[in-house]
Structure 1
Amino acid sequence: MGNSGLKQHYETAKKTGVLKLSERKLEEFPPNLSALAPLLRTLDLSHNIFTKVPGDIRNFTLLKHLNLSYNKLTVLPEQIGALHKLESLNASENHIQTVASSLSKLLHLKQVNLSGNHIVDFPLAFCNLKHLDVLDLSRNKLTTIPDNVSQLYTIELNLNQNQISFISEKLAECSRLKTLRLEENCLQLNSIPKQVLENSKITNLALEGNLFEAKQLSDLEGYESYMERYTAVKKKLF
């Protein structure tokens, strides 16, 4: 995109607070973008070839929606933690390995999509965010769900297509968790904690494609309690 094309987008963004620069083959933040920092509420830089997010991102403090999906990022940097109004963050389909701890400051986050990355350790930065509804970590390289995950407030947690073989029983303590997706992982039948079935608020547990047949779940202690919750929710839908 030439400078004239960018200029037109910038002029529109000044009026709307929305800037979409997706599919532009951009390798770095375009010139003069920082001038829009006091104005933008939505910034879409998806489908480009960024390898890093510049430190200047910290100045976009009015942002509510940030889309960095389909780039070549390897980290989510500390500076994103300065975007205190952020409600949705999409950094899916990158090469992200680490998530900065500063993201724990994003108290207004509602939706986070980090699917299709290279994350190995569960990103505990998203714990204690009381408005977080959906956290998508599918298609990463996670191997465990650690004890500290009990502090997650998300309603839906998507962990499909990872390499998870261990689930902490503390997962049952997640106070808002209703949907847990664990399809196509490395779970044995005895890896499913009794507490998750018996004492959690989970009403939709997706476990297809693990190292056991789904019908074997019914043999586990606590399964009847899970089915009672599942059935109660289904009845409300009809």
Structure 2
Amino acid sequence: MGNSALKAHLETAQKTGVFQLTGKGLSEFPEDLQKLASNLRTIDLSNNKIEVLPPLMGKFSVLKSLALNHNKLTALPEELCKLKKLEALHLNGNQLTQLPAAFGQLSALKTLSLSGNKLRTVPVQLCSLRHLDVVDLSRNQIQSVPDTVGDLQAIELNLNQNQISQISSQISYCPRLKVLRLEENCLELSMLPQSILSDSQISLLAVEGNLFEIKKLRELDGYDKYMERFTATKKKFA
């Protein structure tokens, strides 16, 4: 892509606060964007071939939404964690194995999509994020859900299509968790904590495609309590 095309995009972005350049085969983050670091609210560079994000990412002080779906990222720079206004981060279809240590400093983050990466655990940093609504960790390589998950503030947690065979019962203590998706994992019925049914806030539990029949779930203690929450929620949205 020529410089003139990039220049046109930059001029538009200066007026709108939105920079979108998807599917253009970019191999690196456009450094010229830093000229707009103080007025860009949205950056979308999805469907490119970007392998590394530069430290200058930390300069986008008013950025609210960053989308880098389907690139070739293997890591994120610590500087990304300085984005105090960032509310939505979309990184589906990359090759990330972990998140930066300071990720919990993204204090405004509400939506995080990390589907189709190479994460092996639920990142503990997510538990520091107080405004998180939706976390998508589907299609990774997660094998267990650790005790730290009890501090997660998310309303929806998507763990579909991982390799999960163990879940800490602490997940029942998540104060805001209403939707838990665990479809197509490696769960035996005995490994599903019954407290999810009897003692949690969860009103939608999706567990199809595991190592048990769904009808067996209905025989568990606490299933009636879960169904009460499920039905009440359904009525609310009906």
TM-score under structure 2 normalisation?
A: 0.97
Please state whether the residue corresponding to 1:196 is helix, strand or coil.
helix
Inter-partner Cα distance in structure 1 for 2:40 and 2:231 = 44
Cα offset, 1:92, TM superposition: 0.4
Quote how far apart the aligned CAs of 1:76 are.
2.4
Alpha-carbon shift at residue 156 of structure 1 (Å) = 0.5
Residues 176, 201 of structure 2: 8 Å contact kept: yes
Distance in 1, matches of 2:109 and 2:200, equals: 23
Shift of 1:201: 0.3
> What is the aligned partner in structure 1 of residue 134 from structure 2?
134
1:236 Cα deviation after fit: 2.9
Structure 1 residue ranges without an equivalent (≥5): none
Structure 2 Cα separation of the partners of residues 235 and 29 of structure 1: 46
Q: Which residue is equivalent to 1:212?
A: 212
Task: Say whether residues 1:122 and 2:122 are aligned partners.
Answer: yes
Aligned residues: 238
Cα distance in 1 for partners of 2:38, 2:16 equals 12
Task: Name the aligned partner's letter for residue 192 of structure 2.
Answer: I
Aligned residue type for 1:202 = I
Say whether 1:4 aligns with 2:17.
Answer: no
Misfit runs of 4+, over 3 Å: none
Superimposed CA distance per residue, residues 110-168 of structure 1 (whole angstroms, 9 cap, x where no aligned partner): 10000011101211111132211100000000011110111111101000000000010
Residue 66 of structure 2 aligns to a residue whose secondary structure is strand
Q: How far off its partner does 1:234 sit?
A: 2.1
Question: CA offsets per residue over residues 49-86 of structure 1, 9 Å max, x none?
Answer: 01111111011111000001110001122111011100
**Whole-angstrom CA distance in 1 between matches of 2:31 and 2:151:** 40
Counterpart position of 2:37: 37
- Structure 2 runs not aligned, ≥5 long: none
TM-score (norm 1): 0.97
* More divergent stretch after superposition (60-69 vs 29-38): 29-38
The Cα RMSD (Å) is 1.0
Matched residues in 2 for 1:44 and 1:120: separation? Answer: 26
The alpha-carbon deviation at position 27 of structure 1 amounts to 0.6
